[in-house]
Amino acid sequence: MKIYVKYFANIRDLIGKDSERIDIGKGMTAKEIWNLITNGSKMPQNILVAVNHEYVNIEHVLKDGDELAFFPPVTGG
């Protein structure tokens, strides 16, 4: 299965790229994808996760062709 992963703001800086297409195993969760792409680095507690432009829980199971996005909470004024 292939998914498209996007990274925003300081997460993009941490990963070193703004997006990538990756192969994943069937039934993998967003959290497992994080562990895969960061080689097991601890996930920031306040990270937001979206799949196909909708917020999801970190335990959301990905499907072939999904777009997964990791980003920090939006702040501003």
Please report, in angstroms and rounded to a whole number, the separation of the first and last CA atoms in the chain. Answer: 40
Residue 16, pLDDT above cutoff 80: yes
Query: Alpha-carbon Rg of the chain, whole angstroms?
Result: 12
| 65 contacts 5 by C-beta, under 8 angstroms | no
CATH of 2-71, one of 3.40.50.620, 3.40.50.300, 3.10.20.30, 3.50.50.60: 3.10.20.30
pLDDT at 6: 97
- Alpha-carbon dihedral angle through residues 36, 41, 45, 47, given to the nearest 10 degrees: -50
pTM comes to 0.90
pLDDT, tens digit (0-9, with 9 covering 90-100), for 21-55: 999 999 999 999 999 999 988 888 889 999 999 99
DSSP 49: E
